[in-house]
Amino acid sequence: MFARFSRALPRSQLAGPPIRPFYRYTATGLGASMWFWIFYKAKEDGPVLLGWKHPWDH
C-alpha cells in the first residue's frame, strides 16, 4: 500500500518557501522555551498530579 508513496521526490518538490532567519530562530527559541517550561512544571507539579505527594506537604 505504501509502495507508491515511497518513491523519492525531486528536491524541488520537497523544498518549501524560503523562510527569513529571524522567523526561523524566533520559532526555534519559542519552541524550546515552551518545552523547558513544560518539563519544569512536570518536575514541580508531577508528583502531586500522580498522587505521590500531597500539595500541602513541602
Examine residue 54 and state whether it is found in any structural domain, yes or no.
no
Structural domain of 35: 3-49
**CA distance readout (Å), 26 to 16, 17, 22, 39:** 18, 17, 6, 20
**CA distance readout (Å), 21 to 17, 27, 28:** 13, 10, 10
The model's confidence at residue 57, banded by pLDDT at 50, 70 and 90, is confident
- pLDDT in the model for residue 2: 55
* Whether the predicted model's global pTM rises above the 0.85 cut: no
Examine residue 57 and state whether it is found in any structural domain, yes or no.
no
9-29: per-residue pLDDT in tens? 666 666 788 899 999 999 999
Q: Which residue's C-alpha cell is 519552541?
A: 31
Examine residue 45 and state whether it is found in any structural domain, yes or no.
yes
Where would I find the H helices in 1-58? 11-14, 21-49
Examine residue 55 and state whether it is found in any structural domain, yes or no.
no
- The number of folded domains in the chain is 1
Examine residue 58 and state whether it is found in any structural domain, yes or no.
no
